[in-house]
Amino acid sequence: MNPGTRTVALALTDGMLHFELAVAYEVFGSDLSGLPGLAFPWYDLTVCGPAPVRVGRFRMEPDAGLDQLPYADTVIVPGWADVDVAPPVELVDAVRAAHEAGARVASLCTGAFVLAAAGLLDGRRATTHWAHTDVLAARHPLVEVDPDVLYVDNGSSVLTSAGKAASMDLCLHLVRLDHGSAIANTVARRLVVPPHRAGGQAQFVTAPVPDQDDHPLAELFPWAIERLDRPLTVEDLARRANMSSRHLGRHFRTVTGTTPLQWLLTQRIRRAQELLEATGDSVDAIAEAVGMGTATTLRRHFNRTIGVPPDAYRRTFRSTRSGTG
């Protein structure tokens, strides 16, 4: 773990949403030092805010004042309950000061309104809950608001997430950046949530999403993940699910918001990340292990999806883990 990401401050004032606050506290504030494979100290979380504060129907006593935000490596801003009310100047100033001091700042759900008020999103791409993206764009015209993604990572310096469940996605994304895919997946399993949803995945699907335990693809997903080293096709997936390819595509769109091939590609890239992080296997060997066939194919898709080639990703990850990057 990069020592420069260990301390986390959770910004807290009256008017925050309790769900997003609880998500961040569960991920960064729980004692996970005994997790399998975790060779580094977990995060040191401090709740910062004027005391006491009311969060929904709960009252909380922060550990420190908002003036402590600039001393954290990462600052998390939970959802802001009423987007028609301007966030407190004290909170906005403290978040701005933290960013100027070099902190990584992430907002959950409508916490993006706090970051926007602090000027942190000017000229940057950002998102928030789909029901409030129009308001964010109108109020802050310098922000490039994207209503169709789960979260946005602006080079790991300023991050924003969509609503509710996407807050967990962003928190796990931060864990993935700091600890790697294997640990992030272990945390996700502990919390019984999906280990990874790409930030670019649609946050809102017009068709209702079936319950996870009984939707038609529930058995197909683990079957496919166990066979990523094979050249699976849509026809293979359809045959396994005992449905036509067209019918399969409709179910994939309903359940995942994407196509079968795109879902498969995402799983292959995720597996490639894990192998790059945890093994010394060559790119050729990893390409074969994740069903990409050749290193050229893996490099093309990996670079397009992650933003860097596999070799550069491995070097950056290992440098970060050693604390030298």
| Nearest of 318, 239, 302 to residue 266 by alpha carbon | 302
DSSP letters of 70-84? GG-SEEEE--BS-TT
CA 9 to chain centre: 17
pLDDT in the model for residue 203: 43
Rounded Cα gap, residues 101 and 91, in angstroms: 15
- The b-or-e profile of 25-34 (16+ CB within 10 A means b, else e) is bebbbeebee
- DSSP letters spanning 246-266: HHHHHHHHHHHSS-HHHHHHH
End-to-end alpha carbon distance in the chain? 10
- The pLDDT value given to residue 189: 79
- Alpha-carbon span 64 to 53, nearest angstrom: 12
- Helices 310-322 and 260-278 sit at what angle, rounded to 10 degrees? 50
User: Per-residue DSSP letters for 153-220?
Assistant: EETTTEEEE-STHHHHHHHHHHHHHHH-HHHHHHHHHHHTS-S---TTS-S--SSPPPPTTTSTTTTH
What pLDDT digit, counting tens, does each position of 255-266 carry?
777 889 988 998
For 184-223, what is each residue's pLDDT tens digit? 888 887 887 766 555 544 443 333 333 445 578 888 888 9
Res 183 pLDDT > 60: yes
Per DSSP, the three-state class of 64 is: strand
Q: What amino acid occupies position 53?
A: V
In degrees and rounded to multiples of 5, residue 203 shows phi and psi of -90, -15
Q: Which of 48-57, 167-176, 253-262 is modeled with the greatest confidence?
A: 167-176
Contact 82, 15 (CB under 8 A): yes
Q: What does the alpha-carbon distance between residue 251 and residue 270 come to, in Å, rounded to a whole number?
A: 22
* pLDDT tens-place string over residues 62-115: 999 999 999 999 999 999 889 999 999 999 999 999 999 999 999 999 999 999
CA dihedral of 313, 318, 323, 325, whole degrees rounded to 10:
-30
pTM score, whole prediction: 0.67
pLDDT of residue 156: 67
Report the mean per-residue pLDDT for the chain. 85
Q: How far apart are CA 258 and CA 202, in angstroms?
A: 8
276: helix, strand or coil: helix
Residue 178 banded pLDDT, cuts 50, 70, 90? confident
User: Would you say 228 and 271 are in contact if contact means Cβ atoms under 8 Å apart?
Assistant: yes
Q: Is 292 exposed, middle or buried (0-12, 13-18, 19+ CB in 10 A)?
A: buried
Strand duo 58-60 + 74-77: pairing: unpaired
| Rounded CA separation 255/199 (Å) | 16
